[in-house]
Amino acid sequence: LNMLVNAPEDQRRAFDQVVEVFTAGAPPAPATLAKIEPMGFNVTQVYGLTESYGPATECAWDDDLWGDLIG
């Protein structure tokens, strides 16, 4: 996150949507969070059981977007 917020303006790119970011371990510095959220990132700090459990993501199938995919 620090690399993103400290990137030169001419190297930054805008996103068309909010980018969901999960971070674990030591939380990002408040100054980093204050800079990253206006850039379109929603940061969530997660904790616990990282030795035996990994976060998972779930995405509902969107037939309009992926209906022609094979597999």
Tokens read off for 32: 């980093």
HSE value, Cβ hemisphere, 13 Å, CA-based, for 22: 8
Asked if residues 36 and 56 have their Cβ atoms less than 8 Å apart, the reply is no
Predicted confidence at residue 69, as pLDDT, reads 79
Q: Provide the pLDDT confidence category of residue 23 given band limits of 50, 70 and 90.
A: confident
Higher pLDDT, 51 or 57: 57
The residue ranking higher by pLDDT, 60 or 49, is 60
Stated pTM of the model: 0.60
Cα(2)–Cα(39) distance, rounded to whole angstroms? 12
Domain boundaries, the chain: 2-66
35 to each of 14, 28, 51, 62, how far by Cα in Å? 14, 11, 30, 33
Least confident of 22-31, 47-56, 59-68: 47-56
